[in-house]
Structure 1
């Protein structure tokens, strides 16, 4: 398996929410990443896929909520988000896609 494929396995998709848009004004981009990905893996994947320099990576794990649907209990997925802060002068346009 090539390293390019592994990088795509680490970074699942960009997160486009109001909070993520506010973070992008400060030079940060938010991605949904694999639950077993660590900060060095995320940094390497972003730098190789987008050709930018990463300053810092902060991660947040959102536990899946227990929800009821038609009387049946279910659970949402647990997701991990990475707030990737870029070096000065580097940008990623997440609206164009990978």
Structure 2
């Protein structure tokens, strides 16, 4: 099926939690996180992202539900926007981050 706009993004707890999950998975996959201490970008490494909120979201029913999220997160105390794709398979109790990158805007 095609993508469907999620209109209640700001109050939709599931969507906001998926945004938080996407940021945490991004940090984990890049070796960033509180458990590793503060990572400064001044030494050429990425800084940990801190989730703020999901700004926009769409969903698509595939083999599971694919969520397309526009996420606001803080990096070095600056607000930045990111695009991410998360697939949820409720019957397997699984979530997977497929894509996470800075927004083109």
Same fold by TM-score, threshold 0.5 exceeded? no
TM-score w.r.t. length of structure 2: 0.28
TM-score w.r.t. length of structure 1: 0.29
Structure with the higher strand share, 1 or 2: 2
Bigger relative CO (Cα 8 Å, ≥ 6 apart): 1
